[in-house]
């Protein structure tokens, strides 16, 4: 009898553990399902707008006298492989030279970066100035240092590996005609997408993210976040909000949350384009995304108070900020799938329904991403859709990186801002597109200055 009682106790303990695990899994899958279903209309709105839109070259502003002044801030540290092409691109911007100042914030380079910057500064004495920071402590600090020396009404930010198209400033001006717009995020494109399979994956992800997700948020007047480069912010707004948080790993996301909290308006500008280098190795990607995810998680906790505002933009901001946690939760599905390969899974009707809905929402998401991909890929080919299954596995990799970032937070590892190394690679298609945009930019400039 005693043995039977012990057996019953063990059975009850196991049953309790199973029930707890079951409830936990239901919560996890329900959370992923709700988040996926919530984002489907955003993606659909973005794809619908993308399908109807055509990129316009030039600007409706024809009077150069009323154009706002710009300060272009470029933080640099050991960027000898890429800084030259950025400064060359900035010198060819289709914008009145007397209304643009280029501020290079040198943050302790040990290579030829300073020499290259000095060369361009000598050739453009009235437009380019180089600032040397007393000590190096990360990109946000360098940005704030540049802001203190900026005079423009609008401040543009570009990373050293960027190559903005000639009409970037001109097209950004159109959005700032609305006095309620505090900031504008342009579209970034991969300059080295053809380098290898990884750069292709990242390029596709970036294209779909910008052209479907951010576009959808802009159309629906939801949370449009800044992405760190090819972004434009009114100087008075930056000063009112105290600039960027120098301790943040994702200063762009943190500042976006601050803008939302203060009810400032941010727009996504798909026609304002800049090319930038995509990580070409797993180690580069891992370091970059670890910083991004960890920084975003910190912002999610810090600005959890946004949910108390009870408006769609604030709620959408928190839904976006909790994206890395949703990625981690999605790992549960992968682990269960692996477990199911070796052992039978017993699911009741409710569990089966949740699983089926999750699968349907994932499929719908991939289909919308595929539809967006057909519009952003050049040339448009049905074969581009063959990348979608690989993108699904690529997102799985992202989930593991997000988990690693969360573990760093739990272990209280010190915050450290690490830069992504650049190689200066450029693809044939990107080069051709840049050459074409340069010609179109020159034509738009002629129309502007002649007032035709």
What integer is the mean pLDDT of 119-143?
86
Distance of alpha carbon 49 from alpha carbon 186, whole angstroms: 16
Instruction: Specify the range with the lowest mean pLDDT, choosing from 140-154, 159-173, 218-232, 327-341.
Output: 327-341
Tell me the sheet residues that pair with 102.
Answer: 72, 128
Distance of alpha carbon 11 from alpha carbon 17, whole angstroms: 10
Distance of alpha carbon 316 from alpha carbon 309, whole angstroms: 11
Please determine, for residue 34, whether its predicted confidence score (pLDDT) is greater than 90.
Answer: no
pLDDT at residue 447, rounded to an integer: 43
pLDDT at residue 451, rounded to an integer: 41
pLDDT at residue 60, rounded to an integer: 53
Where b means 16+ CB within 10 Å and e means fewer, 238-268 reads beebebbbbebbbbbbbbbbbbbeeebbbbb
* Residue 285: closest CA among 384, 192, 397: 397
- Angle of helix 312-321 relative to helix 323-340, nearest 10 degrees, comes to 50
Instruction: Specify the range with the lowest mean pLDDT, choosing from 54-58, 175-179, 237-241.
Output: 54-58
What integer is the mean pLDDT of 306-333?
88
- State percent of the chain over pLDDT 70: 79
Please determine, for residue 10, whether its predicted confidence score (pLDDT) is greater than 60.
Answer: no
Higher pLDDT, 66 or 159: 159
pLDDT at residue 341, rounded to an integer: 62
Contact 399, 331 (CB under 8 A): yes
pLDDT at residue 449, rounded to an integer: 43
Distance of alpha carbon 44 from alpha carbon 325, whole angstroms: 23
Distance of CA 159 to the CA centre of its chain: 13
pLDDT at residue 452, rounded to an integer: 36
Distance of alpha carbon 366 from alpha carbon 225, whole angstroms: 22
The two beta strands, 163-164 and 265-276, are antiparallel
What six digits make up the tokens of 255? 């500042």
pLDDT band at 61 (very low <50, low <70, confident <90, very high): very low
Distance of alpha carbon 293 from alpha carbon 288, whole angstroms: 9
* Domain ranges for the chain: 64-196+209-278
Higher pLDDT, 391 or 149: 149
Burial of 23 (0-12, 13-18, 19+ CB in 10 A): exposed
Distance of CA 36 to the CA centre of its chain: 19
Contact 422, 161 (CB under 8 A): yes
What six digits make up the tokens of 202? 């990242």
Q: Which of the given ranges, 40-54, 57-71, 232-246, 356-370, has the highest pLDDT on average?
A: 232-246
Distance of alpha carbon 169 from alpha carbon 116, whole angstroms: 24
Contact 169, 92 (CB under 8 A): no
Contact 347, 355 (CB under 8 A): yes
pLDDT band at 434 (very low <50, low <70, confident <90, very high): low
Long-range contacts of 32-35 (CB under 8 A, 24+ apart): 32/326, 32/329, 32/330, 32/332, 32/333, 32/358, 33/354, 33/357, 33/358, 33/361, 35/319, 35/322, 35/326
Please write the tens of the pLDDT for every residue from 257-266: 999 999 999 9
The CATH label, of 3.40.50.11540, 3.40.50.880, 3.30.565.10, 3.90.550.10, for the domain at 64-196+209-278 is: 3.90.550.10
Q: Which of the given ranges, 19-28, 280-289, 374-383, has the highest pLDDT on average?
A: 280-289
pLDDT band at 184 (very low <50, low <70, confident <90, very high): very high
Q: Report how far apart, in Å, the C-alpha atoms of 213 and of each of 139, 209, 210, 441 are.
A: 26, 5, 6, 27
| Angle CA 54–57–63, to nearest 5 | 130
Distance of alpha carbon 87 from alpha carbon 89, whole angstroms: 5
Contact 325, 293 (CB under 8 A): no
Report the chain's mean pLDDT, rounded to a whole number: 83
Q: Does the N-terminal peptide bond of residue 222 adopt cis geometry, omega within 30 degrees of 0?
A: no
Instruction: Specify the range with the lowest mean pLDDT, choosing from 155-159, 180-184, 197-201, 328-332.
Output: 328-332
């Amino acid at each position: 009898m005693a043995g039977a009682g012990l057996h019953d106790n063990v059975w009850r303990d196991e049953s309790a553990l199973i029930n707890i695990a079951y409830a936990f899994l239901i919560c996890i899958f329900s959370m992923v399902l709700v988040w996926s279903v919530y984002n489907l209309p955003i993606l659909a709105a973005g794809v619908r707008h993308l399908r109807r839109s055509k990129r316009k070259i030039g600007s409706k502003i024809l009077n150069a006298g009323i154009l706002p002044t710009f300060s272009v801030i470029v933080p640099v540290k050991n960027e000898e492989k890429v800084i030259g092409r950025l400064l060359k691109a900035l010198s060819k911007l289709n914008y009145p030279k007397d209304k643009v100042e280029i501020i290079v914030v040198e943050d302790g380079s040990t290579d030829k970066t300073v020499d290259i910057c000095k060369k361009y500064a000598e050739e453009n004495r009235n437009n380019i100035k180089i600032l040397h920071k007393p000590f190096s402590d990360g990109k946000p600090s360098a940005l704030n240092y540049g802001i203190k020396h900026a005079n423009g009404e609008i401040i543009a930010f570009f990373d050293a590996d960027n190559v903005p198209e000639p009409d970037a400033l001109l097209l950004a001006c159109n959005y700032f005609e609305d006095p309620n717009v505090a900031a504008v995020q342009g579209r970034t494109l991969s300059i080295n997408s053809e380098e290898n399979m990884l750069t292709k994956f990242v390029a596709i992800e970036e294209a779909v993210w910008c052209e479907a997700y951010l576009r959808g948020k802009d159309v629906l007047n939801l949370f449009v976040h800044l992405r760190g480069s090819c972004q434009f912010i009114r100087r008075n707004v930056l000063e009112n909000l105290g600039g960027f948080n120098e301790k943040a790993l994702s200063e762009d996301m943190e500042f976006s949350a601050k803008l939302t909290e203060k009810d400032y308006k941010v727009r996504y500008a798909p026609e304002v384009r800049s090319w930038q280098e995509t990580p070409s190795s797993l180690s580069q990607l891992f370091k970059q995304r670890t910083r991004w995810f960890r920084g975003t998680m910190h912002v999610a906790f810090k600005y959890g108070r946004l949910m108390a505002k009870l408006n769609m933009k604030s709620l959408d901001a928190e839904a976006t900020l909790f994206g890395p946690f949703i990625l981690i939760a999605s790992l549960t599905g992968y682990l269960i799938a692996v477990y199911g390969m070796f052992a039978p899974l017993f699911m009741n009707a409710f569990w089966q329904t949740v699983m089926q809905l999750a699968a349907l929402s994932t499929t719908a998401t991939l289909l919308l991403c595929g539809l967006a991909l057909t519009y952003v890929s050049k040339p448009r080919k049905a074969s581009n859709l063959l990348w979608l299954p690989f993108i699904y596995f690529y997102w799985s990799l992202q989930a593991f990186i997000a988990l690693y970032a969360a573990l760093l937070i739990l272990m209280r590892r010190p915050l450290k801002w690490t830069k992504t190394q650049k190689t200066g690679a450029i693809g044939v298609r990107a080069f051709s597109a840049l050459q074409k945009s340069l010609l179109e930019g020159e034509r738009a400039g002629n129309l502007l200055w002649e007032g035709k």
